[in-house]
Amino acid sequence: MRNIKLTIEYDGKDFNGWQKQPKKLNIQGEIERAIELVTGEKVDLIGSGRTDAGVHALGQVANFKIENTSIPIEKMAVALNSKLKKSIRIQKAEEVDLQFHARYHCKQKTYYYVIDNTEQGTAIYRNLEYHMPIPLDVEKMKQAISYFEGEHDFKGFKASGTSSKSSVRTIYKADVATENGKVFIQLTGNGFLYNMVRIIAGTMVDVGLRKNKTRRDSRHYCF
């Protein structure tokens, strides 16, 4: 038995999230299909977390166990990528201890939301950023997001359908920054509830729009 750890990058705009779902295109299912094509074995791919529909990943970690394969580990990423859509790339494959579990051994996760805060938006990055044409008060957003740091019960920041028994999570870092007309929201924590980061990001947009509420109700801009 061998335990293989994958580091994965993907463009999530064409997928219904990470988790396998019947008759819906998903990241987990596509990679499992590629593994079976390359090795001849069906596997259960374990991800460090589940991303929602449309979410991109720069360093998603997953692992799977396999009885045997003749493919050298240094060739595994190339072999899998040859069977995957271009929107999914295996950046690295490595053999790890049999006890390694991508989910249970994950220490922290980081989410980024990028907001294009220019009036006209962008053509090139339109699928990677959220366009907000009304100027945001970034200083207010910075003040507000700091309250999320630490251990809190985030039951008010989860969407229906959350399967987790506890809604208590720890946020190690919560930050808002701006550069060249873009606003960056970063959250690093030990875990996140279903749609939790998306709801927090929408809340931050609402905070940033308060001084402009006379122009348009900010609730129309929630993520």
Give the Å distances, CA to CA, from 61 to 45, 49, 56, 93: 10, 8, 13, 10
Residue 167, token pair as written in the block: 């809604």
Given the residues 14, 44, 52, 137, the one annotated as active site: 52
Residue 52 among the catalytic residues = yes
The Cα–Cα gap between 190 and 166 comes to 13
Spell out the residues 6+ positions from residue 71 whose beta carbon is closer than 8 angstroms to its own: 38, 39, 79
What's the length of the chain?
A: 223
Residue 170 three-state SS: strand
Give the Å distances, CA to CA, from 124 to 5, 8, 121: 33, 23, 9
Catalytic residues: 52
